[in-house]
Chain A
Protein backbone atom coordinates (compact mmCIF):
# COMPACT_ATOMS: atom_id res chain seq x y z
CA UNK A 1 0.00 0.00 0.00
CA UNK A 2 1.14 3.50 -0.70
CA UNK A 3 2.16 5.49 2.31
CA UNK A 4 1.74 9.09 3.26
CA UNK A 5 4.99 10.83 4.04
CA UNK A 6 5.30 13.84 6.30
CA UNK A 7 8.40 15.96 5.91
CA UNK A 8 9.33 18.48 8.54
CA UNK A 9 11.90 21.23 8.10
CA UNK A 10 14.74 21.20 7.45
CA UNK A 11 13.77 19.46 4.21
CA UNK A 12 16.46 17.17 2.88
CA UNK A 13 18.56 18.41 0.01
CA UNK A 14 18.37 15.83 -2.74
CA UNK A 15 21.01 15.81 -5.45
CA UNK A 16 20.17 15.44 -9.14
CA UNK A 17 21.62 11.97 -9.07
CA UNK A 18 19.55 10.92 -6.06
CA UNK A 19 16.42 12.35 -7.65
CA UNK A 20 16.99 10.16 -10.64
CA UNK A 21 17.78 7.10 -8.54
CA UNK A 22 14.62 7.60 -6.50
CA UNK A 23 12.63 7.82 -9.69
CA UNK A 24 14.07 4.53 -10.90
CA UNK A 25 13.51 2.76 -7.60
CA UNK A 26 9.94 4.07 -7.33
CA UNK A 27 9.21 2.65 -10.75
CA UNK A 28 10.79 -0.65 -9.88
CA UNK A 29 9.02 -0.97 -6.54
CA UNK A 30 5.48 -1.05 -7.81
CA UNK A 31 3.77 -2.26 -10.96
CA UNK A 32 1.08 -0.17 -12.68
CA UNK A 33 -1.47 -2.80 -11.66
CA UNK A 34 -0.52 -2.51 -8.01
CA UNK A 35 -0.65 1.28 -8.24
CA UNK A 36 -4.09 1.11 -9.83
CA UNK A 37 -5.32 -1.23 -7.11
CA UNK A 38 -4.14 1.16 -4.41
CA UNK A 39 -5.79 4.02 -6.18
CA UNK A 40 -9.06 2.18 -6.53
CA UNK A 41 -9.19 1.65 -2.79
CA UNK A 42 -8.71 5.37 -2.31
CA UNK A 43 -11.45 6.28 -4.79
CA UNK A 44 -13.85 3.77 -3.27
CA UNK A 45 -13.47 5.55 0.09
CA UNK A 46 -14.92 8.70 -1.48
CA UNK A 47 -17.77 6.70 -3.00
CA UNK A 48 -18.63 5.26 0.41
CA UNK A 49 -18.35 8.64 2.10
CA UNK A 50 -20.64 10.43 -0.32
CA UNK A 51 -22.90 7.52 -1.29
CA UNK A 52 -22.42 7.69 -5.03
CA UNK A 53 -20.22 6.06 -7.60
CA UNK A 54 -17.32 7.98 -9.08
CA UNK A 55 -18.96 7.70 -12.50
CA UNK A 56 -22.09 9.38 -11.15
CA UNK A 57 -20.05 12.02 -9.33
CA UNK A 58 -18.02 12.76 -12.42
CA UNK A 59 -21.01 12.89 -14.74
CA UNK A 60 -23.08 15.14 -12.49
CA UNK A 61 -20.53 17.31 -10.79
CA UNK A 62 -17.22 17.40 -12.63
CA UNK A 63 -18.14 20.68 -14.35
CA UNK A 64 -19.45 22.42 -11.28
CA UNK A 65 -19.35 21.99 -7.57
CA UNK A 66 -22.59 22.02 -5.62
CA UNK A 67 -22.08 24.25 -2.66
CA UNK A 68 -22.36 22.31 0.59
CA UNK A 69 -22.49 18.88 -1.01
CA UNK A 70 -18.78 18.12 -1.01
CA UNK A 71 -16.09 20.38 0.48
CA UNK A 72 -14.10 22.17 -2.19
CA UNK A 73 -10.77 20.44 -1.57
CA UNK A 74 -12.39 16.98 -1.59
CA UNK A 75 -14.29 17.81 -4.75
CA UNK A 76 -11.00 18.62 -6.49
CA UNK A 77 -9.24 15.64 -5.00
CA UNK A 78 -11.92 13.13 -6.03
CA UNK A 79 -12.21 14.65 -9.51
CA UNK A 80 -8.45 14.58 -9.97
CA UNK A 81 -8.10 11.03 -8.65
CA UNK A 82 -10.89 9.67 -10.79
CA UNK A 83 -9.85 11.38 -14.03
CA UNK A 84 -6.17 10.48 -13.64
CA UNK A 85 -7.14 6.92 -12.70
CA UNK A 86 -9.13 6.59 -15.92
CA UNK A 87 -6.24 8.02 -17.90
CA UNK A 88 -3.85 5.61 -16.22
CA UNK A 89 -6.03 2.58 -17.07
CA UNK A 90 -5.92 3.56 -20.73
CA UNK A 91 -2.23 4.30 -20.72
CA UNK A 92 -1.30 0.94 -19.21
CA UNK A 93 -4.07 -0.94 -20.95
CA UNK A 94 -5.62 -2.12 -17.70
CA UNK A 95 -9.22 -3.03 -16.96
CA UNK A 96 -11.13 -2.92 -13.70
CA UNK A 97 -11.57 -6.68 -13.89
CA UNK A 98 -7.82 -7.19 -14.07
CA UNK A 99 -7.26 -4.90 -11.13
CA UNK A 100 -9.93 -6.48 -8.98
CA UNK A 101 -8.90 -10.00 -9.99
Chain B
Protein backbone atom coordinates (compact mmCIF):
# COMPACT_ATOMS: atom_id res chain seq x y z
CA UNK B 1 0.00 0.00 0.00
CA UNK B 2 2.65 2.52 1.09
CA UNK B 3 4.87 1.54 -1.79
CA UNK B 4 2.16 2.23 -4.30
CA UNK B 5 1.35 5.60 -2.72
CA UNK B 6 4.99 6.54 -3.23
CA UNK B 7 4.94 5.30 -6.80
CA UNK B 8 1.77 7.26 -7.43
CA UNK B 9 3.43 10.39 -6.07
CA UNK B 10 6.39 9.77 -8.35
CA UNK B 11 4.04 9.74 -11.34
CA UNK B 12 2.29 12.90 -10.15
CA UNK B 13 5.65 14.66 -10.17
CA UNK B 14 6.52 13.09 -13.52
CA UNK B 15 3.35 14.68 -14.92
CA UNK B 16 4.44 18.05 -13.52
CA UNK B 17 7.82 17.72 -15.25
CA UNK B 18 6.12 16.67 -18.49
CA UNK B 19 4.08 19.89 -18.46
CA UNK B 20 7.35 21.79 -18.79
CA UNK B 21 9.00 19.63 -21.43
CA UNK B 22 9.22 22.53 -23.88
CA UNK B 23 11.98 24.05 -21.70
CA UNK B 24 13.64 20.74 -20.84
CA UNK B 25 16.48 19.08 -22.72
CA UNK B 26 16.92 16.00 -20.59
CA UNK B 27 15.47 14.37 -17.52
CA UNK B 28 17.83 12.03 -15.67
CA UNK B 29 16.86 9.49 -13.09
CA UNK B 30 17.69 6.04 -11.85
CA UNK B 31 15.79 3.27 -13.62
CA UNK B 32 12.08 2.98 -13.00
CA UNK B 33 11.02 3.01 -9.39
CA UNK B 34 14.34 1.83 -7.88
CA UNK B 35 14.59 4.87 -5.63
CA UNK B 36 10.87 4.99 -4.94
CA UNK B 37 10.17 1.39 -4.03
CA UNK B 38 13.24 0.58 -2.01
CA UNK B 39 14.29 3.92 -0.62
CA UNK B 40 11.12 6.08 -0.59
CA UNK B 41 12.87 8.92 -2.37
CA UNK B 42 13.11 10.75 -5.64
CA UNK B 43 16.39 11.83 -7.19
CA UNK B 44 16.12 13.63 -10.49
CA UNK B 45 18.43 15.91 -12.47
CA UNK B 46 16.64 18.03 -15.04
CA UNK B 47 18.56 19.95 -17.70
CA UNK B 48 17.03 22.98 -19.41
CA UNK B 49 17.35 24.58 -22.83
CA UNK B 50 19.99 27.08 -21.69
CA UNK B 51 22.17 24.40 -20.06
CA UNK B 52 21.00 25.19 -16.54
CA UNK B 53 20.11 22.28 -14.27
CA UNK B 54 17.66 21.50 -11.49
CA UNK B 55 18.73 18.93 -8.91
CA UNK B 56 15.72 17.36 -7.17
CA UNK B 57 16.13 15.29 -4.02
CA UNK B 58 13.08 14.26 -2.01
CA UNK B 59 12.61 11.86 0.87
CA UNK B 60 8.98 10.87 1.15
CA UNK B 61 6.86 9.79 4.07
CA UNK B 62 3.21 8.99 4.56
CA UNK B 63 0.90 10.75 6.93
CA UNK B 64 -2.80 9.98 6.99
CA UNK B 65 -2.58 8.17 3.64
CA UNK B 66 -0.96 11.18 2.01
CA UNK B 67 2.58 11.38 0.72
CA UNK B 68 4.57 14.24 2.22
CA UNK B 69 8.02 15.52 1.36
CA UNK B 70 9.77 14.82 4.63
CA UNK B 71 12.98 16.34 3.34
CA UNK B 72 13.50 18.06 0.04
CA UNK B 73 16.16 19.87 -1.89
CA UNK B 74 15.59 21.74 -5.13
CA UNK B 75 18.86 23.23 -6.36
CA UNK B 76 19.03 25.28 -9.55
CA UNK B 77 22.46 25.70 -11.20
CA UNK B 78 23.68 27.56 -14.25
CA UNK B 79 25.48 25.82 -17.13
CA UNK B 80 28.81 26.22 -15.31
CA UNK B 81 27.56 24.58 -12.14
CA UNK B 82 27.15 27.78 -10.14
CA UNK B 83 24.13 27.76 -7.88
CA UNK B 84 21.50 30.31 -8.81
CA UNK B 85 19.10 29.39 -6.03
CA UNK B 86 18.08 26.43 -3.94
CA UNK B 87 15.26 25.49 -1.59
CA UNK B 88 15.35 23.00 1.23
CA UNK B 89 13.73 22.24 4.57
CA UNK B 90 16.75 21.08 6.57
CA UNK B 91 16.08 22.39 10.10
CA UNK B 92 19.22 24.48 10.43
CA UNK B 93 17.92 28.03 10.00
CA UNK B 94 15.29 28.27 12.72
CA UNK B 95 15.32 32.08 12.72
CA UNK B 96 13.99 32.29 9.16
CA UNK B 97 10.32 33.30 9.08
CA UNK B 98 9.43 30.38 6.80
CA UNK B 99 11.54 27.80 8.72
CA UNK B 100 12.20 25.01 8.21
CA UNK B 101 11.56 25.97 4.59
CA UNK B 102 14.21 28.35 3.33
CA UNK B 103 16.20 29.26 0.27
CA UNK B 104 19.73 30.16 -0.69
CA UNK B 105 20.60 32.50 -3.52
CA UNK B 106 23.70 32.92 -5.68
CA UNK B 107 26.66 32.71 -3.38
CA UNK B 108 28.72 35.80 -3.92
CA UNK B 109 30.62 35.94 -0.64
CA UNK B 110 32.03 33.24 1.65
CA UNK B 111 28.89 33.40 3.76
CA UNK B 112 26.07 31.29 2.37
CA UNK B 113 23.07 33.16 3.75
CA UNK B 114 19.60 31.66 4.03
CA UNK B 115 16.44 33.58 3.21
CA UNK B 116 12.71 33.06 3.63
CA UNK B 117 11.29 31.24 0.64
CA UNK B 118 9.89 33.41 -2.15
CA UNK B 119 7.51 30.67 -3.31
CA UNK B 120 4.98 29.00 -1.05
CA UNK B 121 4.56 26.18 -0.79
CA UNK B 122 7.89 24.93 -2.08
CA UNK B 123 6.86 22.28 -4.55
CA UNK B 124 8.33 20.95 -7.75
CA UNK B 125 5.48 22.62 -9.64
CA UNK B 126 6.26 26.03 -8.15
CA UNK B 127 10.00 25.67 -8.64
CA UNK B 128 9.51 24.73 -12.28
CA UNK B 129 7.12 27.66 -12.75
CA UNK B 130 9.81 29.98 -11.41
CA UNK B 131 12.41 28.50 -13.76
CA UNK B 132 9.98 28.88 -16.66
CA UNK B 133 9.59 32.57 -15.80
CA UNK B 134 13.34 32.98 -15.93
CA UNK B 135 13.87 31.03 -19.15
CA UNK B 136 10.82 31.94 -21.18
CA UNK B 137 9.65 35.25 -19.83
CA UNK B 138 13.13 36.53 -19.02
CA UNK B 139 12.11 37.40 -15.51
CA UNK B 140 14.42 40.04 -14.08
CA UNK B 141 13.47 39.02 -10.60
CA UNK B 142 16.56 38.38 -8.51
CA UNK B 143 17.30 34.68 -8.11
Chain A interfacial positions (CB closer than 8 Å to B): 2-11, 13-14, 19-20, 22-23, 26-27, 30, 32, 35-36, 38-39, 63-65, 67, 72-73, 76-77, 80-81, 83-85, 87-88
Closest A residue to B24 by beta carbon equals A9
Asked if B55 lies at the interface with its beta carbon under 8 angstroms from chain A, I say yes
Cβ–Cβ contact B27 & A6, under 8 A: yes
Most B C-beta atoms less than 10 A away, residue of A13, A14, A19: A19
- Asked whether B34 lies within 8 Å of A2 as measured between CB atoms, the reply is yes
In the complex, chain A residues whose CB is within 8 Å of the CB of B73: 72-73, 76, 80
Number of interface residues of B (CB under 8 A): 44
Number of A-B contacts (CB under 8 A): 110
Write out the residue numbers on chain B whose beta carbons fall within 8 Å of the beta carbon of A72: 73, 75, 83, 86, 104
Asked if B4 CB lies within 8 Å of chain A CBs, one says yes
Interfacial chain B residues near A32, Cβ < 8 Å: 38
Asked whether any CB of chain A lies closer than 8 Å to the CB of B29, the reply is: yes
18 more contacts with CB within 8 A, not counting A8-B25, A27-B3, are: A3-B30, A4-B30, A5-B30, A6-B26, A7-B26, A9-B24, A11-B27, A14-B14, A22-B32, A23-B4, A27-B37, A35-B39, A76-B55, A76-B57, A77-B55, A85-B39, A87-B39, A88-B39
